[in-house]
Amino acid sequence: MASIVVFGLPILDTAVALARRLLNHRPLFVSDRGHIYDQMVDRGIPLKKTVAICYVLAGAYAAIGLVMSQI
């Protein structure tokens, strides 16, 4: 379980994207601008800040996964 949490951000982003496409009857394997980082940039968050936020979130998921593996 801990190894899944380490990759939590990309897994969550992919799951949300697939669910959104299914609910909207869109093709699953056609790209769109609905991913977390695309939505942040589209809402006006600068690209460098978006990258930093994604790194922090990925790091937090990794830290949680590492803590879980020690329990």
In order, the DSSP letters of 21-66 are HHHTT--TTS--S-SHHHHHHHTT--HHHHHHHHHHHHHHHHHHHH
Q: What residue type is 70 in one-letter code?
A: Q
Instruction: Determine the pLDDT at residue 54.
Output: 94
Tokens of 60: 């937090």
- The predicted pLDDT at position 6 comes to 83
Q: How confident is the model at residue 1 (pLDDT cuts 50, 70, 90)?
A: confident
- pLDDT value for 5: 84
Q: Which two tokens stand for residue 18?
A: 């697939």
φ, ψ dihedrals at 35, nearest 5°: -70, 160
Over residues 15-68, the pLDDT tens digits come to: 999 999 999 999 998 888 989 999 999 999 999 999 999 999 999 999 998 899
Give the domain ranges of the chain.
2-70
Residue 50 in contact with residue 37, Cβ under 8 Å? yes
